[in-house]
Amino acid sequence: MFIDRAKIQVIAGSGGNGCLAFRREKFVPRGGPSGGDGGKGGDVYLECSDRVNTLLHFQYKRIFKAQRGRHGEGDKRHGKDGKDVTILVPPGTQIFREPEHELLHDFAVPGERIKAATGGRGGRGNARFATSTNQAPRRTEPGQEGEELQLSLNLKLIADVGLVGFPNVGKSTLISRISSARPKIADYPFTTLVPHLGVVRVEEFRTFVVADIPGLIEGAHEGHGLGDQFLKHIERTRVLVHMIDASREDRDAVSDYRAIVRELALFNKDLLDRQQLIVASKMDALANPRKLSGLKAMCTRQKLPFIAISAVTGLGIKELVHTLDALLR
């Protein structure tokens, strides 16, 4: 199950209390104060890790609490510090503080680590308050409370290339052909219900990542169809591939392209600044060549790169991979 939004509560540990104690030793008539300090409460950390790829685990655990510090003890013994808690999130996760919805961090690289909540300081024992005029203080301090935050997590997939288009234009078939990803493929709309990532190998040490985004329809930016639920996942891509089914007699390829561009612009106009590649799919089923020529003429006028492919027969697949590699480089 692909989950890209979650809300959690993080609670840092409270500090331990300072101790009130006096020395009681044989042959030491005036022992004096010996109460130790309390331990510091544990912190809560967020860490980016490639061991997780969705926010699914936050559906089962939403409260993360660090250990509190131990109380101080006699003989000036310091209380033990509380254990920290580390929460793993996938690359591409944005962390927001609620209810202000303030962005705390945007994780991009595995290994990144931030402190989300700081544990409370331990209280001082009475030994810390001894002075020349007050040699037997009975004053101690309680431990401070740890920080408590409400956080919302928003995952945006990190990919080099994003496949966009209407439902059933061949995006899933293409990504299964050029990578090891195996999304569901069927001949009905909205077969793809969640984004899929595939790693495309160009050469032995050169690869790029492709994201297959569920099919868009007109009004997607307003939530129609699968709506803007997954449009956010192409905001991090560097190249947009417009998949257009030129084989259908009941649709106009140029109008389909313009409709998708309009939805992208209404969702986030910055998406139109990305490099774009127009791909006419299902060439093995093409019955009317004029539909393809109209799409090619539009691409020529707008100076957009164009490739015709068939993921079933393999037509244009190698050219597509090398063109994407060149655009990324």
Residue 99 preceded by cis peptide, ω within 30: yes
Structure tokens at 237: 């891509």
Q: Is the pLDDT of residue 160 over 70?
A: yes
The more confidently predicted of residues 218 and 130 is 130
Alpha helices of the chain — where are they, by DSSP H?
171-178, 253-267, 289-301, 317-328
**Cα dist from 80 to 193, 218, 262, 306, whole Å:** 49, 60, 60, 65
Q: What is the pLDDT of residue 194?
A: 60
- Mean per-residue pLDDT for 300-311? 90
Q: What is the pLDDT of residue 145?
A: 96
Structure tokens at 314: 């393999």
Q: What is the pLDDT of residue 212?
A: 83
**Confidence (pTM):** 0.72
Q: Write the DSSP assignment of 118-148 as a string of letters.
A: PPPPPPPPGGGG--SS-SS-----PPPPPPE
Domains of the chain: 1-155 (2.70.210.12), 161-328 (3.40.50.300)
CA distance 235 to 110: 19
- Mean per-residue pLDDT for 67-93? 94
Find the range with the poorest average confidence among 95-109, 194-208, 213-227, 279-293. 213-227
